[in-house]
Amino acid sequence: MFSKPVPADSLYLAWAAAVFPLAAFGIIMIFLRRLPKAAAGVSLSAIAVSLVCAVCLLARHWHLEMPLESTVQWMASSDFEIPVGVLIDGLSLLMLVIVSGIAFLVQLYSIGYMAGDPGYARYFGFMSLFAWAMTSLVLAPNILQLFIFWELVGLSSYLLIGFWYEKLSASQAGKKAFVMTRAGDTLFFCGWLILLVWGGTVSILDLNHSAHSLSQAMVTASALLVFGGIAGKSAQFPLMTWLPDAMEGPAPVSALLHSATMVAAGVFLLGRLFPFFSQSDAAMTVCLFIGFVSMLLSATMAMVSRDIKQVWAYSTVSQLGFMIMALGAGGYAAGIFHLTTHAGFKALLFLCAGMLIHACETNDMFEIGQAGGRRMKLTVLCMTIGALALSGIWPFSGFFSKEEIMAALAAANSPVWYIGGLAGVFLTAYYSFRLIFVILLPGSTKAHGPGSQSGPEHARAVMHAVLVILAVITLVMGFFAESLQNLLTGQGVNAPGVHGPFPAKVVSPVLAIAGIVVAWLEFGRKDSARIGFAGRISPVARLFGQRWYLDHAYGWLVGRILDRGIAEGCQQNENRVIEKILHTVAGSVTACGRAAAGWHRAMIQSKLMVVFAVVFGLTLILLAA
Amino acid sequence: MTIYAVFFYIIAALIIAATGLAITRKHMVHAVLCLVVSFFGTALLFYLLGAPLPAIFQVIIYAGAIMVLFLFIVMMIRIDPEKTHRFPLGHYLAAGGICGAYFVAAVLLTLLSGPRARQPMPAATASPFDFGYYLFDRHWLSIEMISLLLLVALIGTLHLGLGRVGRKQKKGGGQ
Amino acid sequence: MIVPYTHVMLLGGVLFLLGMICTLTRRNLIMIILGLEIMLNAAAITFVGAGLHLQQIEGQAIALFILAVAAAEVSVGLALVVCIYRQTGTVDPQCIEGNKCQLKPDQTG
């Protein structure tokens, strides 16, 4: 066996962490729709319980040597059973703490941010639904259970993106996110069906430990299909364009779902099945490649965007690409560690962006800068800390995780990945500080300060407290790198500690600083043109601004191939073939019925004839029997 | 071939011929008369097959009562036989098909029957006494049911015959 | 020794067939009932023959029951025919159905 049963008290803790938010969701949706304060209280206390449970679990199993797994049978079909239960190992513990922690902080922040919104109770209900789905996803011991919660997470994402459903763009963005992730999930579904049918198991531990006994082709095929789901959920190329649109939701939602936790579920799944994936070189190469492409593409998109939330969204895609590259290069601990740090500083960045947007009532960073966004000193300070972490500057958490990733990439088989990674580091620093400088050092400011301060004083205090907590986490997280790696690799995941060559350790911070300097030269200087180097060449700017025409490509694909080609062909088939066949069949059945009815409608003797014929037939049957 | 067999074949030919004539006559009176001959032949056949009591009943009930009833009705209902319509050809073809299938099946069954059925049957007679004793010994309940059935038929016939007249009378009385 | 049982059966079969032809092809209710009588008669013959073949009186008893049932059926059937004739003025089975009587114009004309 690869696992030990979970001790009873840990089991209760794990269940409690998952079930409390569900209970909160039910209570809010059924009883508290009209009581926003109570709804917020219930939701917050539930997620607080989850957080406490998660921290207790982490503390208890800090020196975990072997994964703990407890399952009960859910249903059994002829020769395989589908269990449900919990799987506790370093990865799930870490993710559980991240999810419940960020969810708690974001909900706390939301109390102020969402104040006065007519859908206040609904918002907290959906947040609880998400918390339940995400914690259960993290604890799932088999792929089926994981898939169920994977879909539930997608559902809550859809609900929260379209939270302001009166706005057309919001509901469209929700639909887009739902459909695009669904495209990936279909592949994921096929992938685990292959595993179930030919591999005979969906248990994660079994898969990880017995992958080498399965045939290579099957492992590759199912791994690639599962990777499709990962690409959809984590917004990787080519299914990446839903994430920037998903920023239509409230800023805390973007912070929680679309940067810190939900989109990280794809990376989490990749880490979950890391030993399985590493059995297939082809799948790993695809991971590397897809991560590489999405990382660079979205970094370039972030360079020209003016929408502050979209910049962070592109940056999220880019950082997720980094993680997937790291995992694809074999740096298991590096990828997951980056996930952890990224969750912290990206949530921080989004929450700061939310503060600025709330205060200035615009998403455009230039307008925010001109409206005097820098006067919100604490917010801008926290944002700068987040941006420093994102760029990978010592001593912020991003530095440590990025170092790990660069080391893993340097150890990969081809230098292309490493060079690409370095370019990514440079671009990341550039676009983050472009944003920071635009807000911090606007060319000219209007006389009056930022608009109406949001909410009552104590709510703002809570929001600021959340920002400070996240900033502190971002500051200190990097120094726990060693112990987190021990936690992650302590259970036989064969990831040798990768230590890059010395130049690698120097090159990437230097490039990051170079990026900051370039950003300062173009946006920060007093008499700068305030146009990025990409913006000077208009075709390139247009290319980046239009997201490399990916949406156009999809539009073309959907319009030409799906609508005109397949759908029209299907319609022709429907009209010309199927309906004709149906008409013929229906017509002949009707005619037969008419004929048969005719015998009964006709005079006695025709009926009599039928009776004779039937009796004759019955006699024959009886004789034959 | 015994004398019984000769009688059997003669009677069988008579029955078939008479029945064939009966079903093809245009005038129903002719048809009923032919059928009377056929039933007489059947009675003879019963006697030959060792059933004197059913033979007598056949003469009394079938040839006597039932056929006379038919004659009455035929005379009551006056129909010009020349004016009757014929079925369309398809109907005849279908009927012929079904009858042909029955005939083929009957011949096949006869040909395929076991050796015991091919043996000439021994002659035997159930005397009216034995028959009556057997009937009331074994089938007394069935006899009672038959009598009940006949009673019901009698009442039903009366009802059918009288109902119309009664209503007419009422109508007449109303006028 | 009389004939084999198969011959009796064949006779019964042919008679039954004749009755069937009568019921199927004549457009006359009375002839249909006549055909029924022929068929019942054929059945009775077969039963009596079977009784002789198996050396049992049972066959004759059933022939007697057939006779009784035939009598009851004929009386009720003929009463119905009379009723119908009184109501519709015809014994053509197709005309009884009501809507597609082709006979009436001929009868009136």
- B-chain residues within 8 Å CB-CB of C27? 84-87
- The rounded distance, in Å, linking the Cα atoms of A60 and A64 is 9
- Asked whether residue B112 falls in the same domain as residue B50, the answer is yes
The pLDDT value recorded for residue C97 is: 60
Q: How far is B173 from chain C (nearest CA, A)?
A: 20
Q: Are B157 and B74 part of one and the same domain?
A: no
Q: Supply the pLDDT for residue A423.
A: 85
Q: Which residue has the tokens 């009926």?
A: A607
pLDDT tens string A154-210? 888 888 888 888 888 888 888 888 888 888 888 889 888 888 887 777 788 888 887
Q: How confident is the model at residue A6 (pLDDT cuts 50, 70, 90)?
A: confident
CB pair distance less than 8 Å for C32 and A612: no
Chain B environment of A615 (Cβ under 8 Å): none
Model pLDDT, residue A202: 78
Query: Which residues in chain C touch residue B160, judged by CB atoms under 8 angstroms apart?
Result: 76, 79-80, 82-83
A615 touching chain B per CB within 8 A: no
pLDDT averaged over chain A?
81
- Domain C5-108: give its CATH code: 1.10.287.3510
Greater model confidence, C89 or A122: A122
Average pLDDT in the A593-610 region? Answer: 75
Q: What is the pLDDT of residue A443?
A: 65
Other CB atoms within 10 Å distance of the CB of residue A174: 24
Give C96's contacts in chain A (Cβ within 8 Å). Answer: 603-604
Question: What is the rounded distance in angstroms from the CA atom of residue A235 to the CA atom of residue A612?
Answer: 73
Q: Does A606 touch chain B (CB under 8 A)?
A: yes
- Judged against a pLDDT cut of 80, whether residue A375 lies above it is answered with no
Residues B113 and B145 placed together within one structural domain of the fold? no
Reading the block at residue C76, the tokens are 């009720």
pLDDT of residue C104 exceeding 50, the answer is: no
Residue C39 in this model has a pLDDT that exceeds 90: yes
3-state SS, residue A330: coil
Selected residue of B24, B36, B62 to mutate for chain C interface (largest C Cβ count, 10 A) = B62
**How far is residue B43's CA from residue B63's CA, in Å, rounded to a whole number?**
9
Q: What percent of chain C has pLDDT over 90?
A: 45
pLDDT of residue A409: 81
Total domains in chain B come to 2
Looking at the structure, tell me whether residues B14 and B99 fall in a common domain: yes
Please check whether residues B107 and B174 belong to one and the same domain: no
Which has more pLDDT, B49 or A214?
B49
Predicted confidence (pLDDT) at residue A361 exceeds the cutoff of 80: no
For residues B114 and B62, state if they share a domain.
yes
The Cα A257–Cα A155 span in angstroms is 11
The reply to whether B48 falls in a domain is yes
Contact C96 A609 (CB under 8 A): no
CB pairs under 8 A between A and C: 20
Q: Is residue B132 part of a domain?
A: no
Residue B96 lies in a domain: yes
Q: Which residues of C touch B146 (CB under 8 A)?
A: 65, 68-69
Terminal alpha carbon distance of chain B: 74
CA–CA distance, A464 with A476 (Å, rounded to integer)? 18
Nearest CB to A603 within list C20, C25, C93: C93
Closest CA to A478 of A369, A602, A338: A338
Query: Nearest-CA residue of chain C relative to A608?
Result: C24
So what's the pLDDT on residue A501? 54
Give the start-to-end residue ranges of the domains of chain C.
Answer: 5-108
The per-residue pLDDT for A532 is 66
Tell me the per-residue pLDDT of A79-117, one tens digit each, with 9 for 90 and over. 777 788 888 888 888 888 888 888 898 888 888 888 778
- pLDDT of C38 over the 90 cut: yes
- Mean pLDDT confidence for A376-380: 80
How many angstroms separate the CA of residue C22 from the nearest CA in chain A? 10
Across the B:C interface, residue pairs with CB atoms under 8 Å apart total: 246
Q: Which DSSP string do the residues of chain B spell out, in sequence order?
A: --HHHHHHHHHHHHHHHHHHHHHH-SSHHHHHHHHHHHHHHHHHHHHHTT-HHHHHHIIIIIIIIIHHHHHHHHHHS---GGG-----HHHHHHHHHHHHHHHHHHHHHHHH--HHHHSBPPP----HHHHHHHHHHH-HHHHHHHHHHHHHHHHHHHHHHHHHHHHHHHHHHH-
Q: Are residues B39 and B70 in the same domain?
A: yes
CB atoms A605 and C23 under 8 Å: yes
**Mean pLDDT value of segment A116-144:** 87
Q: Is B155 contained in some domain?
A: yes
Looking up residue B78, the CATH number of its domain turns out to be 1.20.120.1200
- Same domain for B97 and B63? yes
CA distance B112 to chain C (A): 10
* Structure confidence at residue B171 (pLDDT): 47
Q: How far is A573 from chain B (nearest CA, A)?
A: 41
Residue with the bigger pLDDT between A126 and A596: it is A126
Q: Residue C26: closest CA among chain A residues belongs to which residue?
A: A605
Name the residue facing C55 among B15, B124, B146 (closest C-beta). B124
Interface of A with C (CB under 8 A): 601-605, 608-609, 612
Q: What is the pLDDT of residue A490?
A: 63
Higher pLDDT, A431 or B85: A431
The pLDDT of residue A589 is: 93
Nearest residue in B to C43, CA atom: B42
The tens digit of pLDDT for each residue in A227-278 reads 888 888 888 877 777 888 888 888 888 888 877 788 888 888 888 888 888 8
User: pLDDT tens digits for A339-351?
Assistant: 888 888 888 888 8
**Predicted confidence (pLDDT) per residue in A196-208, tens digit:** 887 777 788 888 8
Q: Are residues B149 and B69 in the same domain?
A: no
Look at residue A504 in the predicted model and tell me its pLDDT. Answer: 59
Would you call A612 and C97 a contact, using CB atoms and an 8 Å cutoff?
A: no
Supply the range of the domain harboring residue B174. Answer: 139-175
Give residue B111's pLDDT. 83
Q: Which chain B residue's Cα is nearest to C76? A: B157
Of all residues in chain C, what percent carry a pLDDT higher than 70? 85
Searching chain A, which residue's CA lies closest to the CA of residue C24? A605
Contact A294, A320 (CB under 8 A): yes
Quick: pLDDT tens for A383-423: 888 888 888 877 788 888 888 888 888 777 778 888 888 88
For the residues A485-508, what does the mean pLDDT come to? Answer: 59
pLDDT over 70 (residue C107): no
Closest alpha carbon within chain C to B120: C4
> Does residue B64 lie in a domain region?
yes
Q: What is the pLDDT of residue A456?
A: 56
Helix (H, G, I), strand (E, B) or coil at A53: helix
Residues of C in contact with A604 (CB under 8 A): 32, 93, 96
Q: Which residues of A touch C18 (CB under 8 A)?
A: none
| Whether B120 and C106 lie within 8 Å, measured CB to CB | no
- Interface A–B counts its CB contacts (< 8 A) at 17
Say what percent of chain A tops pLDDT 70: 90
Residues A210 and A270 sit within 8 Å (Cβ to Cβ): no
Q: pLDDT tens digits for chain B (175 residues)?
A: 788 889 999 999 999 999 999 998 888 889 999 999 999 999 999 999 888 999 999 999 888 889 999 998 888 887 777 777 777 788 888 888 988 988 888 888 888 877 887 888 888 888 888 888 998 988 999 999 999 999 999 999 988 888 655 555 544 443 3
Q: What is the helix (H) or strand (E) element at residue A297, kind and residue range?
A: helix A281-304
Q: Kindly list the residues from chain A whose CB atom is less than 8 angstroms away from the CB atom of residue B87.
A: 605
Q: Are A201 and A80 in contact (CB under 8 A)?
A: yes
